[in-house]
Amino acid sequence: MAAGRPYRSLDIPLALLGVLGALFLILRPLPSVRSAAPGVPGVAAGGQGAAEDSLDAVRLMSRALDVLPEARAEAGLPIDKRTDINRTGLIGIEMSPTTTSLGHLEAKRTTANPAFAGALVRMLREAGVDRGDAVAVGASSSFPGLVIATLCAAQAMGVRALPIVSLGASNWGANDPRWTGLDILEALNRAGVLDVPILAASLGGEGDAGLDMAPEGRALLRRRIGEWGGAFLPAEDLPAEVTERIRLFEAYAGGAPIKAFINVGGSWVDMGTDSSILKLRPGFNPASEVVLAPAGRRGLIQAWAARGVPVIHLLYVKGLCDRYGLPWDPMPFAPPAADAAEEGGKAAPTGRLHAALFAVLMAAGIVWIGIRRRLG
């Protein structure tokens, strides 16, 4: 009995600590859903407003990915699950008459991730774009995922996006003449996911005249633009094309300044013909950091920068992933941050109750040991 006396004095404090620990685990408040958002890929840092816009953009692009497979199926174009592993409706085919250049399947799949829409909110904010502003978009069909991410980000922010679409596309982009960049945007407008005016369309490709396509491909795209019924931009020399596009952008902006130019892909008229364009960083670029080529070789990127307009450059996908913390070729896509946090919040109480139960059992065990020692 005397040997057990030193332990008896610890029985009640230890049991009390166990019970208090259990109560702490049960009653400790859950972390805020919103506070988790900035650390998740695709969700912008910079305050609650930025996080909310990012989440809205990610969710809007997720809706787009729900609509597009059905729209493809209605057009008689089922998804190839071997290449479009996330079933987005945004992955094209390897070769077609409207294919312009080399493209990588993994890059196209990567940019179909709705997290890119959240990252675009961050880029637009970096560029100083705010609600009610107008932005010009050079939308190459090589990266339909990046085009949609841009438009979803703008719509979530209350920004007017003004896209001009070029229809030629590299491998695995919107390079199926039955499912072009125009078809994708029209499907999303019809479904009410987007509400975006398409200013005009061009053939794209080399010289913006489809010179790197098969002749059959050029004919198919001209026919598609004719069926669409909107403005067709014929190929001209580079300075004339740049001037015409700037005129169109400014006309649709209705006198409001263009606050940013977003270049999607490697369009000839957007990139220009000077090698200095290769120095451009992926993502946001202040106008002062864009190297200006001689006027005759400037594309829209450099023409806008010369006017003091910042540029968002969406071409080098690996660089975009590295700079903005986005995953490469993920499968499956992660859910929007708040949805993931809410799921975690639902699971957290269960895990917490298990831990609390364990602590209570430990406390009960300590009390039982004390009782046995007293009886012994």
Answer yes or no: do 345 and 233 share one domain: no
Give the number of domains in the chain: 2
Instruction: Give the mean pLDDT of 70-92.
Output: 96
Query: CA 336 to CA 323: how far, in whole Å?
Result: 20
**Does 322 lie in the same domain as 193?**
yes
Segment (H or E) for 137: strand 134-140
Tokens (6 digits) for 135: 């932005």
**pLDDT over 80 at 336, yes or no:** no
Q: What is the mean pLDDT of residues 276-282?
A: 96
Q: How confident is the model at residue 198 (pLDDT cuts 50, 70, 90)?
A: very high
> pLDDT tens across 119-128, in order?
999 999 999 9
Say if residue 52 is in the same domain as residue 142: yes
Q: What share of the chain is helix, strand, coil (3-state, %, to 5)?
A: 55, 10, 35
Query: Do 128 and 273 reside in the same domain of the chain?
Result: yes
Asked if 27 and 45 sit in the same domain, the reply is no
Residues 224 and 252 in one domain: yes
Shared-domain flag, residues 63 and 108: yes
More confident residue, 13 or 53: 53
Shared domain for 90 and 149, answered yes or no, is yes
**Whole-number Å distance between alpha carbons of 142 and 140:** 5
Q: Is 102 helix (H, G, I), strand (E, B) or coil?
A: coil
Counting Cβ atoms within 10 Å, is residue 212 exposed (0-12), middle (13-18) or buried (19+)?
middle
> Between 127 and 369, where is the model more confident?
127
Boundaries of domain holding 107: 41-333
